[in-house]
Structure 1
Amino acid sequence: MIGDEAYNLGAIKVAKVNFTIIAFCVIIVAFLVVTQVYVSAMEIQPRGVNVQRTVYITDWGVTVVNDTITLTDTHEAGSTRFRLGVPAEFASFLRYAQAKDESGSPLPTTRILDSTSGVLWVEFKLEKEVGETHRFNVATVYSDLVSYQMGRFSFNFTETPLLDEKAELCNVTVVLPRDSTVNIPENYSFAKTSFNGLPALNAVFKPLQPFTWKPLNFTFQSITVQLFKVHWAERKVTFKPLGGISVEDSYSVTNLSTSTSQIEILLPKNSSNVMAYDKLGPIWDEPQKGDRVTVSPRYGTIKANESFTFTLKYDLSNSHLSRRGTLGQYELNLTLITPQPFIIYHLTTEITFPKSLSVNEVSKPPDTLSDKLYEVRYLYDVGDVTPLDDLSLQVGFKYDGFWAAVRPIGIVAMVEAAFCALYASLKTVKREVVEEGVTVPADQIRRVTELIDEKIGLRNTLEDLDEKLAKKAISKNDYRRRRRGVETRLAAINRLLKPLKSSLASLNPRYGEILNLMDKAEAEVEAVYTSIRNLRVQYRIGKIEKTAYLSIHEELRSRLEKAKSKLESLNVSLKEEAG
C-alpha cells in the first residue's frame, strides 16, 4: 500500500511538471503567433492617401488636370511608387503627364498599359522616410474630352482618379470657361460652385475605393470656347545672308464647333513684319507686329467641320540672340514652336544654318541632321504638343564670316539672281504704268458701293430692332414683321452684288483685293452680331449671370464696331476708285 501511494505521488508530481512545461510552451507559441500577426499587420497597414483634383476646361476645349497627392507612409525608408490610372475609354486621349515634387523637381515617370483591362497606368517613383508626409503634383493634359453638337458642348471624363489603393479623401473640382452655363440633372453627384470667379462643379468622395471609377458627363453653353483640331504645325527658321532671322509658322486646323471668323496665334516676343498667307497668297494688305495676331480666312468664316491652312512669315527680334564670352560666340534662344493654348498633333521644326555659322552646342539633339554644300539643317519631329510641353531650344554657335563660306559659283548665282530680280521689278513697273491707262468702271463701282451702303443701313436697322425688343419698346409681332422685311431685302441685295463683285474683281486685281477684305469684314460683322443675339437670349432665360453678360457684351460690341468701321472705310476706298 505504501509503495502504491509513493508511486501515485510521484506520478502526480511528474504530471504537474509536464503540465507546467506544456503550459509554458503554449504561452510561448501564443506570444510568437500574436507577435507575428502584429508584425504582419504592421507590414500590410495601408498608407494614408489624400487627393485634391482640379480639372480645367480651357477656352480651346483642352482639358488640363492637376492632381495634388498627399501620402503618409509608415513603411521603411527608400523608394516607393504611386500609380494613377486612365481608363481604357480615355487612354488614347492622354497627351501629357508629368509629376513634380514640392521643390519643383520632376519625378521619374513610366507608362504601363494593362493589356487585360486596357487601363493605362502612369507610375511615379519617389524617395521618402518612415512616417513622412509626402506631397507632389501630377499634371496631365487630355484632348477630345469636349465635343460640340446642336449648340452645346459636351464633356465626358471620369468623376475621380483611378487608383490601385484606397484614398481616405478625394476632392474633385471641375472649372469651366468664364461665360459657361452648366447643365446638370437633379441629384447629381457634383454641385454647382465657383472657383476663383469661374463657374465650377465640385464633389467630395470619402473614401475613394481602389480600382473603381464612374463616368462624368454634362453639357454646357459658351460663346467664347473655340474647338479647333490642329492636325499639324510647321516652323522654319532661317538666318538671312545679310543678318537677321526669318521664321515661317504654318498651321492646318479644322473647326469642330460653330462657325467662327478668326483664330488667334501667339508669336515670339517683339516679332515684326508679320504677314499671313494662304495658298492664294497674302491675306493681309500690310504687315503687323507684336506677340499675337488674329488670322481670318480669305473668304469670311470657318464653318463647322471646315479646314483652314495658313502660314505666318515674320522677322525674329534680336532679343533672342545673346553674345557669349568669347568673340564671335553667340547663343540663340527660341522654341520649336511658340507655345499655343491648343494641342498640336504633329509638329516639325526646321532650322537652317549657313556654313558661316559653326554650331557647337544644341540643348535638344535634332531628329535629323542634313549637311549640305552651303548650309546645315536641323530637323525636329514631335508628336502631341500641349500647352504644358517644354519646347525651349538653345543653340550655341560661332560666326566665321558669311562670304568665307560661299563658293565662287554661289557668288555668281547670287549676282544673277539680283539681275533677275531687277529685271522683274522693271517689268512690274512697266505693267503698272500700262494699267494706269485702263478705263475705270465708275458706274459699276458706284452701283456696288451703293448696295453695300444699303446693306450697312439695313444691318443697323436689325440691331436697332433687337435693342427695342430687349427694352420691350415694340411688340414681338411687330418685331417679326419688320425683321422679315429687312432680311428679305438683304437677301435680294446679296443676289444683286454677287455678279457685280465678280465682274469688278476680274477687271482689276486691286478691286478684287478690296472686295475680299470687305467680304471678311462683313463676315466678322455677321459672326459677332450672331454672338450678341445668342448672348442676349442666354441672359434673358437666366442661363448667364448679369456681370458676365455685361462684360462679354461690352467686348462683343467693341469687336462689332471695329468690324463695321473697317467695312465702311473699305467702301469709301472703293468709292474713291470711281473718282
Structure 2
Amino acid sequence: MKNAQTHKKIVPKAIVFLMIIFTVSIMLAPLSPVSAQDGNASLTGTITDMGVDTDGDGIYDTLDVGVEVNVTTAGTYKVEVIGLLDSSSDLVSVSNQNSTYLDAGVQVVYVSLDGPAIFESWVVPANVSNIILSESGNQLDSLSNVPLTNPYLISNFGLLPATLTGTITDEGVDTDDNDLYDYLRIGVEVNVTTAGTYMIDLGGLYDASLNVLSGSAVNSTYLNEGIQIVYVDINGAEIYAATVSPTTLATILLYDESNRTLSELHDITLPTSYTYTDFQRPVIVVDIVEVERKIMLEQDGSIYVTNAYLINNVGFWIEYLELGFPEGAYDFAVRDEMGTLTTSEANNLMNVTLRYIVYSNETTTLYVNYHLPWDSHVTQANGVDFALQFTFFEEFNSTIGTLNVDVILPEGAKYQSSTLDPVNTEDGLTFSFSDVEPSDDLGFEINYKYDVFWGSFYPTIWMGIVAAVASVFLFFKGAPTAISIATIQVPSTEIRSFIDSYEEKASIRSEIESLDERLRKGKIPRRRYKVRKKMLDSRLATVSRNLTTLSDNIRRAGSKYANMMRQIEVAEANLEGAERDMQRVKARYRRGEVSKGAYGKLLEEYQGRIESSEATIDGVLLRLRE
C-alpha cells in the first residue's frame, strides 16, 4: 500500500517536469541560429566584384559585389554587404543590400556599393568586411573578411586633385663653379586638377649594381591647375660618400596637404648618366663643445695627459675624425664610451676611426691619453726650482666652447706662480676658458718648487713605515710557520651578470648590424634609422660600462680570471678591427680600387679573423659558466 501511494506521488511530479522542459524548448527554439546546412539557402563562399562606370568618365560610380548563393528552396532572399577593408583592416563605412527572388540552384546576387563614398574614405578596398544572407528576417548564413577578386586604387573611385605623369628630368647643379655637382636636381611632372599645396618625396637612388643611396629628399610647394614641374634637390656630397653612380630613382611619392598619398612611381630611370665622382666631396665640420684636460707631473719624471672631447658634428656625416697632439707624444690610448678605437698618427695629427657613423647635429665623446717627454717641457734650476712650459691646447681649427685644464704637480711640490692665474689651487691648478679660437695664444708657464730628495725617497719612506709596522707585529705575534696566499672568491652572481651582459652586448651589436644593412638596402627611412640607432647606441654604452665594472671585479679574483678578461679584450679588439677592415675593403671595391680576386681573398681573411675572435670569446664565456 505504501509503494502504491509513493508511485501516485512520483507520476504527477514527473509529468510536470516533462511539461516544463517541453515549454522551455518551445520558447528557446526561435532564439537558436539557423545553420547554413539546415536552411533553404546558403553562401558558397565565392564572390566576384567589378567597378562600374555608369557615365563613361573613367571613374567607377559603384563597386558591384556578386555574392554566390546555393538555393535549395526557391524563394525571396536578402543579401547584405556591410563594409570594406583595406590591407591594414581600415574600414570603409559603406553598405547595401539586395532582396530578390531566387530559383533553386546556385545563383549570384549583385550588391552595389557607392563609389564616391569609397573615394571620400580614402581607403583602398581589398576585402569585404561582412556578407549576410537572410530570409524573412531570419539569418541563414554569413561570411566575414572575404577578399575581393580584383585590385583597386583610390583613384578608380574619384578624380584625384593631382597625379604624377611619369615624366622626370634631371641635371647636375654646380653652385660654386668647382666643376663638381653640389646637387642632383630632379624635375617631377605633376598633373594638377585642383590647385593646392603638394609634396614630392624622392626615396633613394641606386646604381647599375643595385648599390643603394637610401634616404629621401622632399619639396612641398603650392601648385596651380595644369601640368606643373616640381624640382627636388639631392645632396651631391651624399652621392659621392655613398660611392653610388646613380642610374635609377627608387620611388617618387606625391602627397596632398593631409599627407595622403595621391600617386607614386617606382624604379624610374634617370635620363642622364652620372658617376659618383661628378659630385661634390663632403665637407667635414665639427664643433668642439667641451674639452676636459688633465696634465699630471708624476714623481717618476713623466708627464701624463688625459683629454675628454665632447664633439658635435655640424657638417656632413663622419666616420673618421682628425685630432692634434703635442710634439713627442707617445703611448697613445684612444677610446669612446664603449671601448678602444683604432687610430693612426702622422705629423702631430691623429686620425681616429669612429665606432659608428656620426650624422649631422649628433654628438660623440672621445678620450685621448698619452705621455710626454719630461725634458721637452720641464726645466730645472738650483735643484729645487722647476718650470713647466706647455700649451693648454694645440692643433685645432674650430672654436672650443669650454676648455678646462687641470695641472697636477708632483706630490710635495709647492706652486709658486704662472703666466695665467688659476681659478683653483687646492687640488691642483685649474684653468678655465670659454669660446677659445685657433688664433688664441694658449701657451703657459708654471713655476713650482720641488725637493728632488722628497721625490726620490717618498716611496722609500712609506716602505720604511710599512716595514717598521710589520716588524713590531712579528715581534709580538711571533713568526708564522707558513705563508698562505689569500684568494678572492668571485661571487657567482657577478660571473652570471657578466655573461648575461656580454650576451646582451652581442645581441645589441647584431641588431645594429641588421639596422645598418636595412639602411644600406633602403628598407628603412633614414629618420627612423637614426632614432633606432641612437636608442641602441645608448643601450650599448650602458651595457659596456657595466661590463667594465664587472670585468674589473672579476680580474681581482686572481691570475686565472685576469687572463680570461685579457683574452676577451684582445679578441674584441681583433673582432672590431676585422669588421672595420671589411667595411673599408667593401667601399674600396665599390670605387674600383680593388680587383675582384683580391676583394674575395680579403673578405675571406677578414671573415676568418672574425670567426676566430668569436670562437675565443665563446670559449671564455663557456669556461666562466663552468
Alignment TM class, shorter chain as reference: 0.3 to 0.5
Structure number with greater Rg is 2
Question: Relative contact order (alpha carbons < 8 A, sep ≥ 6): 1 or 2 greater?
Answer: 1
Task: Give the TM-score, by structure 2 length.
Answer: 0.34
